[in-house]
Amino acid sequence: EPEVTQTPSHQVTQMGQEVILRCVPISNHLYFYWYRQILGQKVEFLVSFYNNEISEKSEIFDDQFSVERPDGSNFTLKIRSTKLEDSAMYFCASSRGRDRYFEAFFGQGTRLTVV
Amino acid sequence: AQSVTQLGSHVSVSEGALVLLRCNYSSSVPPYLFWYVQYPNQGLQLLLKYTSAATLVKGINGFEAEFKKSETSFHLTKPSAHMSDAAEYFCAVRTTNTGNQFYFGTGTSLTVIP
């Protein structure tokens, strides 16, 4: 069964460092997303991506964040200068379409720890 | 604005007992509602979804949920809990107002006691 894969599963970084979280969405999906979950809090929307550009972003997704689809398969989230409060589980997801009927398929997450 | 509230961050049931996980939503337009499950060290997996067809929705692993507009609820149930049901469960809402975003609840951790 096709699945969304994320690497690494756990990343520890020093405050101020850049991190890149990687995702391989399901191959025939068109929409890609990043969500995050700070420990004990809600799963929060960060950004959606379609046709090689950002479709929507939340207020969390500030200038420190960027996304890219560098080739036909990978979808990356970059945090330019990490802060302690960026520590969270980051989920990548993809869906076949934008319509609300379509469910999102999620990866297993990358746990980012900023020290 | 759209939001989801999951009552009870932790629920414990005995093996074989009824599972009831609560979800209430807030939406100004008819919502589509989803339940996802997360097993340890895995991603979010879709259990079931409500998309304005039948109000009683059956999902995988014997779970079902009923959409009740009058109560703005979409509670998840399973008649008989199994040890393998122990996981984190997330309710989510998606509406035409939210573009292609999902709004998630805080999750409910289900423990099954042998």
Nearest to B34 among A31, A42, A103 (CB): A103
Note the pLDDT of residue A2: 79
Stated as kind and residue range, the H or E segment containing A46 is strand A43-50
Residue of A42 and B81 predicted with greater confidence: B81
In this predicted structure, the answer to whether residue A29 has a pLDDT above a threshold of 90 is yes
Q: Any CB–CB contact under 8 A between A51 and chain B? A: no
Q: Any CB–CB contact under 8 A between A10 and chain B? A: no
Note the pLDDT of residue B102: 85
Note the pLDDT of residue B98: 58
Would you tell me how many other CB atoms lie within 10 Å of the CB of residue A77?
25
Give me the mean pLDDT over the B18-46 stretch. 89
Selected for mutation to probe chain B from A92, A100, A101, A111 (highest B CB count within 10 Å) is: A100
Closest CA–CA distance from residue B79 to any residue of chain A (Å): 25
Give me the mean pLDDT over the B50-59 stretch. 89
Q: What's the Cα-to-Cα distance from B91 to each of A24, A54, B77, rounded to whole Å?
A: 24, 25, 12
pLDDT band for position A100 (cuts 50, 70, 90)? confident
pLDDT band for position A70 (cuts 50, 70, 90)? confident
User: Residue A90 burial by CB count (10 A; 0-12/13-18/19+): exposed, middle or buried?
Assistant: buried
The per-residue pLDDT for range B6-25, each reduced to its tens digit, is: 998 999 999 999 999 999 99
Q: At a CB cut-off of 8 Å and minimum separation 6, what does B99 contact?
A: A48, A55, A56, A98
The per-residue pLDDT for range B77-104, each reduced to its tens digit, is: 999 999 999 999 999 988 766 566 788 9
Count chain A–chain B contacts defined by CB atoms under 8 A.
Answer: 63
Q: Please name the amino acid found at residue B34.
A: F
In this predicted structure, the answer to whether residue A75 has a pLDDT above a threshold of 90 is yes
d(CA B79, CA B20): 9
Give me the mean pLDDT over the A58-75 stretch. 92
Cβ–Cβ of A43/B41 closer than 8 Å? no
pLDDT band for position A16 (cuts 50, 70, 90)? very high
pLDDT band for position B27 (cuts 50, 70, 90)? confident
Note the pLDDT of residue B97: 60
